[in-house]
Amino acid sequence: MATTDAGLASDAHDKPGHGHSDHGHGDHDHDHPSYLAHHFDTPEQQFDSGKLGMWLFLVTEVLFFSGMFCAYAIFRSWRPEVFEGCSQFLNTKLGAINTGVLLFSSFTMAWGVRCAQKEQHKLLTVMLATTLSCATVFLGVKAIEYSHKWHLGLLPAGLFSYDPANLHPEGGPNYLAWICAPFIAITIGVAIWLVVSFLRGAKFQFECAKPLFVVCLFFFVGVGLGTILESGADKEHSSHDTVAVSDAHGSEPGEGHAAVEGHDSHADAVASTDAEPATDHSTDLALIERLASDSTNTGLKADLEARKMQSELASGGIVYDVVDDTSATVAHAEDNVLRPSRAGVFFSIYYCMTGIHAIHILAGIGVMVWLLVRSVRKDFNHNYFGPVDYVGLYWHIVDMIWIYLFPLMYLIR
């Protein structure tokens, strides 16, 4: 680390117009450029300190998200079939588009850092505006995803009210409108700002408002994109459903998910017990289990239950009395996946993880607007690009978290 001008710099705190680095670097005596905080010796020291701080913050971010990933891992290991079943409700196309959008925004952000380092002020503004636009497209698509699910009643545990027989419950609020409302308000506000600054001839403000207005509009591009993809998916679903309905005794057309998943998970349950090597008579068990999977065969079910418990006891497991009222009913046969207490937990985790990720996107938008204004002001140069770099790091980690979230949530087979 440079210590050449330590001491000299402290009393030479000059902020004249030549704060830019392109004035003679030869004269060591008085120069402490305006972008260099007085407690730093050199721009590099300033940059490295800021960067270390940013990395430590990112470490806390990683640890913060790890709590949610841990919850995910535990619940998935407990009930893999619930995750498999519920994941089908997430639209892979929307998730994939959002992944692409975020990756592109990461690219433009990295390009922006390069622009700041090379003092390409105009291009930096363009790159920041592009990154911001990607962020709002992401949120627009998310708005469609969330509102669609809320409408269906695919809500967190406790609120979960999905009913395949009644897909379009009347009387719910228009969620999409509520999500869009703040964005519409902001867009109108920015538009007014744009017009006023233009009329008053406030050039700087106009230059800031211009890209920000475009950024606001991109939210609605995202909403449009989401709507198109979601409706496409809906059509696909219903065509699947016509097939599914035939063997899914009497679910309303429109969504055969429930029944299909019911079958799937059942098949899985059978398969998994097949694989369990615990007992000698496991093949025997599997056969009985297959017979018992007919819900009317309550006698066999009870027998199976008893045998299982016996082998559990024999292997030293702690066994609770799981024979309750529901175990002998038709309801228990179809089981799983869409029980509110189970599917709800999946959606709790889904909303928690993607929601907090979306909040991070909002925070990123906030700091990037600040960067955009500063870049219009031409604040950054090849010795002072720290803020762009730090926000870039933050933005990349948000992207990185989505890289893990996307396959873990949307692509469960």
Partner 1 sequence: MSAHENAREGYDFAHPLPLPLLAGTFVVLTMLTILTVAQASFEFGSIDVLIVMVIATVKAILVGAIFMHLAWDKPFNIICFIGSFVFVGLFIMFTLFDSRATVKDDIPILDDGIVTASAEK
The footprint of partner 1 on residues 331-360 (CB under 8 A) is 331, 334-335, 337-341
Taking residues 363 to 382 in sequence order and writing x for each that binds partner 1 by CB under 8 A, - otherwise, the string is -------------------x
Q: Which of residues 226-245 bind partner 1 (CB under 8 A)?
A: none
Q: Which of residues 16-45 bind partner 1 (CB under 8 A)?
A: 21, 25-26, 41-45
Binding partner 1 (rule: CB under 8 A), the pick from 92, 273, 282, 293 is: 92
Q: Please give the C-alpha separations between residue 48 and each of 42, 45, 389, in angstroms, as whole numbers.
A: 10, 5, 11
Q: Which of residues 244-303 bind partner 1 (CB under 8 A)?
A: 248-252, 258-259, 262
Binding partner 1 (rule: CB under 8 A), the pick from 7, 13, 37, 56 is: 56
Alpha helices in 153-297 (DSSP H): 175-199, 203-247, 257-275, 282-292
Closest by alpha carbon to 207, among 326, 81, 121, 91? 121
181 membership: H or E segment, kind and range: helix 175-199
Residue closer to partner 1, measured from CB, 192 or 278: 278
- C-beta of residue 29 within 8 angstroms of C-beta of residue 8: yes
* b (16+ CB within 10 A) / e for 337-356: bbebebbbbbbbbbbebbee
Task: Kindly state the smallest distance separating residue 64's Cβ from partner 1, in Å.
Answer: 10
3-class DSSP assignment, residue 202: coil
Binding partner 1 (rule: CB under 8 A), the pick from 195, 291, 330, 359 is: 330
Q: Which of residues 156-195 bind partner 1 (CB under 8 A)?
A: 162-165
Task: Kindly state the smallest distance separating residue 336's Cβ from partner 1, in Å.
Answer: 9
What span, in angstroms and rounded, lies between the C-alpha atoms of 48 and 381? 16
Q: Which of residues 98-127 bind partner 1 (CB under 8 A)?
A: 99-100, 103-104, 106-107, 109-111, 113-114, 117-118
Q: For the chain, how are helix, strand and coil distributed in percent, rounded to 5?
A: 70, 0, 25
Query: φ and ψ at 141, to 5 degrees?
Result: -65, -40
Task: Kindly state the smallest distance separating residue 240's Cβ from partner 1, in Å.
Answer: 14
The CA-based angle 288-290-293, given to 5 degrees, is 105
Task: Kindly state the smallest distance separating residue 396's Cβ from partner 1, in Å.
Answer: 5
Provide the β-strand partners of residue 381.
384
Task: Kindly state the smallest distance separating residue 213's Cβ from partner 1, in Å.
Answer: 26
- Three-state SS sequence of 41-55: CCHHHHHHHHHHHHH
Residue closer to partner 1, measured from CB, 319 or 363: 319
Residue closer to partner 1, measured from CB, 58 or 369: 58
Binding partner 1 (rule: CB under 8 A), the pick from 20, 121, 151, 396 is: 396
